[in-house]
Amino acid sequence: MKQNITIAVDKELIKQARILASRKATSISRLLGDELRKIVTKAADYERAKKRAMTELESGYHLGGIPAGREELHER
């Protein structure tokens, strides 16, 4: 379901947006809608990635092998 919104934008910016929309064979409304969708999607993707990374960090990483003592690591 689509819903209209009202925004206040500088007249010169509207003029430039009309030119850009015309070059892309679309409308200012479609341009703004597409950009807003990209911003929201990017934010949601970031939050999912952050949550996944935090879960991995909390569970820790198994690096394998047997832990060596300080003396074994620094043998000469």
pLDDT tens track for 46-76: 999 999 999 999 888 777 777 778 888 887 6
pLDDT of residue 35: 97
Report the sign of the C-alpha dihedral through residues 27, 33, 36, 41, in that order.
negative
Distances (CA, A) of 51 to 43, 58, 62: 12, 11, 20
Token pair recorded at residue 6:
């009202």
pLDDT of residue 28: 96
Q: Which of these, 49, 4, 46, lies nearest to 28 by C-alpha position?
A: 4
pLDDT of residue 72: 80
pLDDT tens track for 1-48: 989 999 999 999 999 999 999 999 999 999 999 999 999 999 999 999
